[in-house]
Every structure is written in structure tokens, then in C-alpha cells.
Amino acid sequence: MATATKRKEPLRPKTNGRVAHRFILNGQIKLPAHFASLTAFRRWCMSSEYPEHGDVFWIDGDIWVSDEMEDFSTHNAVKTEILTVLNQLVKANKLGYMFSDRMRLVHPRASLSVEPDSMFVSFASVQAKRVAMKPNKKNRILEVVGSPDMVLEVTSDHSVPKDERLEEKYFAAGVTEYWRVDARGQQVRFDILGRGPRGFTTTPRRSGRLKSAVFGRTFQLSAESDQLGNLSYTLDMSD
């Protein structure tokens, strides 16, 4: 379990007078020792050399690499509940597309190429060209390019430094609403952040509920132990 950051350098690093060719984490995740630009990084992400496991992100010229597995109770279960509820809402009302993780979000001007835990892109945003979903030569859509209506990040033990930077970068990328969850403590922390003049601002709670301007609903996230002692999450949605 490890997260590594590699700063973009103007020249390829050398070892014993020889040019380094690859960066390898725990013998599993392999990537080139140098990316000349975000464009080069995106090209590599679309190639057969991109690892099947682990995460490799570009955040303002830094390469973030993680081979951390998701914890069920504090990450995977809560992410699945939120995605399930929102996907049902989006489909029932024909609002657009919900994406799970492994779909890449790219914003060139914000110098960003990451995979959020989930994100929402409305039909209106695609039609207004705020977001592009162009297929590659094999007619596969592998990137969402532009400004999604909503992104979700669920905090894990090793993601805290990355998540702190992502809030600023998501704002620079024009994300309308940023959902943030931290289920590692005694109480589940759930916030919806909207755009302010200079950054995201936290949506105030009303009777324990949070209003989403993007979805036009109020939400409350709760957790309780199931019959096997594992945490079970409920995202309650109301008009």
C-alpha cells in the first residue's frame, strides 16, 4: 500500500550515466520516467502500457501513483451507495451520465488528468460544449474532457494530500459541485461544496440535510452496522 508523487522534470533522470526508462512502484505499476507534457501523459494513458491495476494521475505536472486497495467499509461501500442512488435519479429523469471510477477526467487548462470516485455530466453540459466525450479510433470513450457538473471523492488513508490539492484543481477545472465523503471516523462526514467567487464553499445543512443545486434534491448520508457487523450506508434523497 503506497502512494508516490513524481515531479515533472525538464530532462529525463539518469542513473550511472544511462537514461532511466521507466518508473516502477512495488514491481507492479510501471510508467515512463518522464512525460514532456499533459498531452504525452494522456497519450500514454490511452496506450496498452497503462497498468490494469492502480491509479496514475496528473495533477498540475505532478504524477501521483497509488497501488492502494479500497477498504470495503470506509470507501467502496459508501461510493457504491452514492453512485447507485444518483444513477437511478439521473436515468429516471434523463439528466445525463453518471460515471464510476476508472473513467478519466481531463481538463488541459487546469493541468488535470484524474479518475474521480464518481462524476456526473449532464446532457446540457455536453450540448453546451462544456464537456466533450469523443471516442478514440476504436470508437471507445476513455476520457471526459472539460467541466463536469459534479465529482465525488471518498477519502482513504493515503489520499488525503491528493484530495487537498484536488479541491483547488476541480475548482480551476470548472466543476459545478464537489461531493466529499470521509467515512474513516466515528461519524461519517459528508459535504456538498458549491462554487464561490474564489473557491468551493460548503453547503449549509438544513435539519441535517444538504441541498444539491445540480440535482435539485436534498440528501442525507447515514451509516449503520448490518447483521454481519459491517457498515451499511443509506443516501436518503428528498425533494
Alpha carbon distance 223, 215 (integer Å): 22
Domain stop point among 13, 43, 66:
66
Closest CA to 126 of 99, 145, 153: 145
Do residue 125 and residue 176 come from a single domain? yes
| Structural domain containing residue 234 | 72-238
Cell of 235: 443516501
Amino acid in the structure at residue 105: L
Do residue 109 and residue 85 come from a single domain? yes
Handedness of CA 130, 136, 141, 144 (dihedral sign): negative
Cell of 184: 474513516
Alpha carbon distance 155, 70 (integer Å): 10
pLDDT at res. 22:
57
Instruction: Give pLDDT tens digits for 136-167.
Output: 888 999 899 999 999 999 999 888 888 889 99
Domain stop point among 43, 66, 89:
66
Do residue 229 and residue 152 come from a single domain? yes
Do residue 41 and residue 76 come from a single domain? no
Do residue 127 and residue 30 come from a single domain? no
Q: Grid cell 467502496 — which residue?
A: 76
Do residue 137 and residue 86 come from a single domain? yes
Average of per-residue pLDDT across 26-43: 74
Q: Grid cell 451520465 — which residue?
A: 97
- The mean of the pLDDT values for the chain is 87
Which of 3-7, 100-104, 172-176 is predicted most confidently? Answer: 172-176
Alpha carbon distance 66, 166 (integer Å): 15
Alpha carbon distance 151, 116 (integer Å): 6
What residues does 236 pair with on adjacent strands? 220
CB 110 within 8 A of CB 169: yes
Alpha carbon distance 12, 140 (integer Å): 32
Cell of 121: 455530466
Do residue 52 and residue 25 come from a single domain? yes
Domain stop point among 51, 66, 81:
66
* CATH number reported for the structural domain that contains residue 87 in this entry: 3.90.1570.10
pLDDT at res. 23:
61
Q: Indicate the number of domains in the chain.
A: 2
What residues does 122 pair with on adjacent strands? 96
Do residue 89 and residue 17 come from a single domain? no
Q: How confident is the model at residue 108 (pLDDT cuts 50, 70, 90)?
A: very high
Do residue 222 and residue 121 come from a single domain? yes
Average of per-residue pLDDT across 110-131: 96
pLDDT at res. 16:
40
Handedness of CA 121, 190, 161, 3 (dihedral sign): negative
Cell of 225: 452496522
Do residue 47 and residue 82 come from a single domain? no
Do residue 156 and residue 179 come from a single domain? yes
Instruction: Give pLDDT tens digits for 182-238.
Output: 999 989 999 999 999 999 999 999 999 999 999 999 999 999 999 999 999 999 999
Do residue 117 and residue 14 come from a single domain? no
